[in-house]
Amino acid sequence: FHRPQVHCPCVPLSTTGETTREFQADYAPENIPRVAQGDLLMTTDTENTMAAAMAAIQPALASALARQGYATLTPVQIAVLADTAKDKDLLVSAQTGSGKTVAFGLAIAPTLMGEEQIFGPAERPLGLIIAPTRELALQVEREFRWLYADAGVTTASCVGGMDMRKERRALERGAHIVV
């Protein structure tokens, strides 16, 4: 898929590996909405950005977010949904607990889903996600399972140190996303 790495502020990488200065300025720390008592501080600009980000989310994913108690998106999630990040490879760096895993799931949804709202039976994987540790791989698979549940996505994880027979059976049953 188009977004092979989501490691925000998000910084699109150019073909030469240099960052886009305008994008960095847009998402400089002083320009990212701050979190206050669990909610984003809402300015007119932030409200417009939030509205645009929410409009970019596939309906099935939006309902999953609502069920999980998301009243607003985190700054990193807003950043990956921005028009300036669309169809770009992203390098994301943010604190633990900032919503990077869900941001990654939201960012790849247009590539995985296209115009479809519901996936059919899994024939072959549409997405392969590689994580550097077993714990992160299991976290990604767990988060994607609830995030994509309403879209009918089947996930599977294949990690070292786990029951290989169980993983093989999961792959044989079919998975849309393999971590």
Measured over the CA atoms of residue 130, residue 136, residue 142 and residue 146, the dihedral's sign is: negative
For residue 120, the model assigns a pLDDT of 87
- Write out pLDDT tens, residues 71-84: 888 888 888 888 77
The pTM of the full predicted model, rounded to 2 decimals, is 0.69
* Percentage, residues of the chain above pLDDT 70: 70
Please, are residues 90 and 9 in contact by the beta-carbon 8 Å criterion? no
The H-or-E segment that residue 40 falls in is: strand 39-40
Q: Cα angle at 26 between 22 and 31, to 5 degrees? A: 150
Out of 13-17, 50-54, 83-87, 167-171, pick the least confident: 13-17
Position 68 pLDDT exceeds 80 = yes
SS3 at position 152 = coil
- Write out pLDDT tens, residues 134-163: 999 999 999 999 999 999 999 999 998 889
Q: Which amino acid is at 176?
A: H
Pairing of the two strands 10-12 and 90-92: antiparallel
Pairing of the two strands 177-178 and 127-128: parallel
Q: What gap in Å lies between CA 52 and CA 14, rounded to an integer?
A: 24
Q: The tokens 């079919």 sit on which residue?
A: 174
Q: What gap in Å lies between CA 152 and CA 98, rounded to an integer?
A: 26
- Write out pLDDT tens, residues 101-135: 999 999 989 888 887 788 888 888 999 999 999 99
Position 50 pLDDT exceeds 90 = no
